[in-house]
Amino acid sequence: MLDDINKRVFLLKMLTREPDERLRDVVLSLANTGMFTPKEGKRILKELERDGYIVEGELSVKGMIEAKKAEEEFKL
């Protein structure tokens, strides 16, 4: 499981994003909430891509599993 809450939130946003939302939109959306700066968001995105959670702009199976875990974790 990912230890970084920002990465888990990023993956959760990827899971729930609208079909027309691009990766840039996801970064800016989370930055607008104050979660992190756009620069930090781009760094997180690159790390998630490097680690195989996001492939070609979509969640990989590994990313989908972590996003579902995050979804369960953040349900109240």
Domain ranges of the chain: 5-74
What's the rounded mean pLDDT across residues 29-58? 95
Residue 76 has a pLDDT of: 66
CATH number of 5-74: 1.10.10
Judged by phi (left if over 0) then psi (alpha if -120 to 50, else beta), residue 52 lies in: left
Query: In which band, very low, low, confident or very high, does the pLDDT at 74 lie, cut at 50, 70 and 90?
Result: confident
- C-alpha triplet 20, 68, 74: angle, nearest 5°: 100
pTM of this structure: 0.91
Q: What is the pLDDT of residue 1?
A: 58
Evaluate if residue 69 carries a pLDDT over 70. Answer: yes
What confidence tens digit (pLDDT) does each residue in 51-68 have? Answer: 999 999 999 999 999 999
